[in-house]
Amino acid sequence: MTQIIASHYKALFGYDKTSHEGNSMVDNDPEDKPDEDEAGNNYQEPAELDRIISPSDVDFTPRIGHELDLHLDLDNGVILGRSAKFHEKFGSSGLGLIGAVSEVADDESSSLFGVPVLMDLMSPHVVFVAGKRGSGKSYTLGIFAEALALSMGRNEIQVAGVIVDTVDVFRQMVEENADQEDLLKKWGLEAKRFPVSVYIPRKTYLSLPDEVKKKARLLPLAISPRELTASEWGYVLERGGQLSTSMTNLIGDVLESIRKGYTLESGEQVKRKRDFSIADMISCIENNPAIDELYQTSSKTALIQRLRRADRLGVFHTGGTSAQDLAVGGQISIIDVAPLGSNAEAVLAILTNMLSRQVLTYRMAWTEEGTSAREELPPTWLIIDEAHTLVPRAGNTPAKDAIIGYAKLGRRFGCSLILCTQQPSAVADEAISQADIILSHSLSHQSDIRALHQRAPAFMPDQFKDKLFISSLPRGVALVFDQSTENKRAFIMQVRPRMSQHGGADRLSGIFQAAALAPDQVEDTIAAEEESAEPHELPSIPRPPLKLSKEDWAVLDDWMRDYVERLFEERLQEYTITEDEHPHIQTSNANEDESEVQLEDSPFDLADEMPEYDLKSLELTIRAFRNLSPSVLRKAMLRKVLYAPPSHGFLFSSDIRERDSFAIVSETLDADVLLERVISILKTAGFDIVRALQDDSFSFILMGTENARASISAAKTPAYSCVAIALVSPEKKAIMNLANRLRSLS
28, burial (CB in 10 Å: exposed 0-12, middle 13-18, buried 19+): exposed
pLDDT of residue 693: 85
In single-letter form, the type of residue at position 344 comes to: A
pLDDT at position 617 is 62
The Cα–Cα gap between 82 and 484 comes to: 7
Collapsing DSSP states into helix, strand and coil, what is residue 58?
coil
More confident residue, 424 or 653: 424
Q: How far apart are CA 526 and CA 97, in angstroms?
A: 44
User: Residue 115 has what pLDDT?
Assistant: 94
Give the tens place of pLDDT for each residue, 57-93: 888 888 887 888 888 898 899 999 998 889 988 999 9
Dihedrals φ, ψ of 680, to 5°? -60, -45
For position 77, what pLDDT does the model report?
93
Q: What pLDDT shows up at residue 528?
A: 42
pLDDT exceeds cutoff 80 at 564:
no
- For residues 593 and 249, is the Cβ–Cβ distance under 8 A? no
Nearest Cα to Cα of residue 316 among 174, 176, 195, 202: 202
> What CATH code is assigned to 2-196+331-495?
3.40.50.300
pLDDT value, residue 11: 56
- Return the number of other C-beta atoms located less than 10 Å from residue 106's C-beta: 12
- In the chain, where the domains are located: 2-196+331-495, 223-313, 578-743
Coil, helix or strand for 556?
A: helix
Contact predicate 461/65, CB 8 Å? yes
pLDDT-based confidence at 566, cuts 50/70/90?
A: low
- Side-chain-facing half-sphere of 356: CA atoms under 13 Å: 29
Q: Are 360 and 406 in contact (CB under 8 A)?
A: yes
Is 80 exceeded by the pLDDT of residue 600? no
Bridge partners (DSSP) listed for residue 96: 119
pLDDT value at residue 592: 35
- In this structure, the number of other CB atoms found within 10 A of the CB of residue 239 comes to 11
Question: Which tens digits make up the pLDDT trace of 440-470?
Answer: 999 989 899 888 888 877 778 888 888 889 9
Check the CA dihedral 521-522-524-528 and report its sign.
Answer: positive
User: In Å, how far are 284, 439, 478 from 67, measured between CA atoms?
Assistant: 68, 20, 18
Residue 519: asked if its preceding bond is cis (omega within 30°), the reply is: no
For residues 400 and 352, give the distance between their C-alpha atoms in angstroms, rounded to a whole number.
Answer: 9
Query: Measuring CA to CA, which residue among 343, 351, 336 is closest to residue 170?
Result: 336
Instruction: Encode pLDDT of 149-196 as tens digits.
Output: 999 999 999 899 999 887 778 888 888 998 899 999 999 999 999 989
Does the pLDDT at position 114 exceed 80? Answer: yes
Return d(Cα 352, Cα 335) in angstroms, integer: 10
List the beta strands (DSSP E) in 245-349: 262-263, 269-270, 332-336
- CA atoms of 447 and 452, how far apart (whole Å): 9
Angle 156-145-326 from CA coordinates, rounded to 5°: 90
| E strand or H helix that includes residue 521 | helix 519-532
Sequence-distant (≥ 6) Cβ neighbours of residue 255 within 8 angstroms: 229, 230, 233, 281
Q: How much is the mean pLDDT over the chain? A: 78
pLDDT, residue 344, reads 77
CB atoms within 10 A of CB 276: 20
Residues 301-323: what's their mean pLDDT? 89
Kindly report which listed range (81-90, 349-358, 503-512) carries the lowest average pLDDT score.
503-512
For residues 454 and 447, the answer to whether their CB atoms sit within 8 Å is no
Mean pLDDT of 679-698: 87
- Grade residue 603 by pLDDT with cuts at 50, 70 and 90: very low
Chain centroid offset of residue 86 CA: 38
Each residue of 514-561: pLDDT tens digit? Answer: 555 544 444 444 444 443 333 333 333 333 333 445 555 555 556 555
State the alpha helices, DSSP H only, in 113-244.
137-153, 181-186, 202-206, 210-215, 230-237
Best CA proximity match to 220, nearest among 566, 530, 683: 530
549-564 exposure pattern, b = at least 16 Cβ within 10 A, e = fewer: eeeeeeebeebbeebb
Q: Which residues pair with 712 in a beta bridge?
A: 701, 725
Residues 6+ apart with CB under 8 A from 5: 25
DSSP 392: B
Decide: 698 and 640 in contact? Cβ < 8 Å: yes
d(CA 103, CA 461): 13
Strands 160-165 and 332-336: what pairing?
parallel
Task: Report the C-alpha gap between 663 and 652 in whole angstroms.
Answer: 19
Read off the amino acid at residue 304.
I
Q: What is the pLDDT of residue 527?
A: 43
DSSP for 351-380, written as a single string: HHHHHHHHHHHHHHTB-TTS-BSSS----E
Q: How far apart are CA 659 and CA 605, in angstroms?
A: 17
For residues 509 and 533, the model is more confident at: 509
Instruction: Kindly write down the DSSP assignment for every residue of 400-468, as one continuous string.
Output: HHHHHHHHHHGGGGT-EEEEEES-GGGB-HHHHTT-SEEEE----SHHHHHHHHHH-SSB--HHHH-HH
pLDDT band for position 582 (cuts 50, 70, 90) = very low
Which residues is 223 bridged to in the sheet? 316
The Cα 378–Cα 2 span in angstroms is: 21
Rounded-to-integer distance, Cα 334 and Cα 218, Å: 10
pLDDT of residue 535: 37
- 250/227 Cα distance (integer angstroms): 17
Q: Mean pLDDT, to the nearest integer, of 373-396?
A: 82
The reply to whether the predicted model has a pTM over 0.75 is no
In this predicted structure, the answer to whether residue 644 has a pLDDT above a threshold of 90 is no
Which whole-number Å values give the CA distances from 426 to 175, 384, 394, 420, in the listed order? 34, 15, 7, 12
Q: Note the pLDDT of residue 650.
A: 85
Measured between alpha carbons, how far is residue 282 from residues 247, 254, 261, 317, 531 in Å? 13, 9, 14, 14, 18
SS in 3 state form for 721-738?
EEEEEEEEECCHHHHHHH
Please list the helix, strand and coil fractions of the chain in percent, rounded to the nearest 5, in that order.
40, 15, 40
